[in-house]
Amino acid sequence: MDRLPPELISQIVTLLPRSDILVVRQTSKYIESSSFDHFAHLFFRKRGFMITTESLNVLTSISRHHGLCKHVQHLWFNPDCFTFVNNPFWTLDSDDEEPTPRYEDQMRRARLFDEYVHDHWDLLYSSRLQEILAEVFKSLPMLRTVGMRRGTYKPYGWQTVSNNVGLDPRILGGEVSLYTTAFADPTYLFIAIIKALATSRKRIRRLYTDAIQIDHVDQRLMLSESDCRHALDSVQYVEINATGLPEARDVTDPSALRGTGKHASNLETLLGSMHELLEIGMTIFRDPKQRHMIPPEPRRLQSYVTPAKMTFH
């Protein structure tokens, strides 16, 4: 194949299965370079990442690579890192004078668990994540879609974390971990994404969120109208999962959903900033206490899609 013109090689590799492309590219530098565009488009057009330093370092490297950055069109982020799992190794205690290899391995996993969780918090609850994402967004010329995904979707780095700790960091369900904050992690991630889009002046076409507490975010302190306008002016398609804080409230009447939060105009501000908006998808959680804002499963009655008439000026 080394004697074939690069244009022909690039066409041949489009006919190969994904696994074979990786093998073929390793046969020679010539084939590797000739098949690069198809490889980059196939493996980097749409990528997911965890909110950990290791995962975001890879994203930053991709955005700085002159060949890969132009192929990235869709980024999604998993807001979880053991969100629903307390450190299972806290109760470890050795009755032996000399710790056993198994005990030492468990202690190593316990330390790694804490390191991953605190790294996740440090990014999510400070300005670090916003700064990283702003730099990344600015460096991806073809980026058109940004969103969030949870559960069994596979963000970059999840398998490494799972192997190191012995637990899946994407686990959903059960009770939220002992360390809780004012908002759920998807809400903090949403704020960072909006601020990063505004700072980078990146014009995207589609935005989709996990269950965010949009009506409880203070516009003066966390998410200004200016941020929304600069971040969302070009958005044509938006999918929003909205929920409230986990205090008990009577929201059995869909008409009462508007105004349940202190900053109930946020949703109007958000949608009103999308001057090119063509399509809205929205899910509103019926019970704000439902499993700490886990996205609804298909055909489950615990959450529902609320039809709404909205007027924007």
3-state secondary structure of 47: strand
What residues does each domain of the chain span?
Answer: 1-44, 48-292
| CA-to-CA separations, 40 to 1, 46, 138, 254, 306, in angstroms, rounded | 20, 10, 19, 46, 40
CB 233 within 8 A of CB 275: yes
Give the pLDDT score at 92. 59
Give which of 266, 275, 203 is closest to 240, Cα–Cα. 266
As a whole number of angstroms, the distance between CA 98 and CA 179 comes to: 33
- List, in order, residues 6 or more apart from 210 with CB less than 8 Å away: 79, 148, 149, 150, 186, 189, 190, 241, 293, 295
- Comparing CA positions, the residue from 206, 208, 210 lying closest to residue 235 is 206
* Consecutive H or E run containing 231: helix 225-232
pLDDT of residue 264: 58
What pLDDT score was predicted for residue 289? Answer: 43
Look up residue 271 and give its two tokens: 């949608």
pLDDT tens-digit profile, the chain (313 residues):
667 676 777 777 777 777 777 777 777 777 777 777 877 888 999 999 999 999 999 999 999 999 999 999 999 999 999 987 777 776 655 555 567 888 888 889 999 999 999 999 999 999 999 999 999 999 999 999 999 998 889 999 999 999 999 999 998 765 555 455 668 889 999 999 999 999 999 999 999 998 888 888 887 778 889 999 999 999 999 999 887 665 434 434 333 334 445 555 788 889 999 999 999 998 877 554 444 445 444 333 333 333 333 433 3
Q: What integer pLDDT is reported at residue 196 of this predicted model?
A: 98
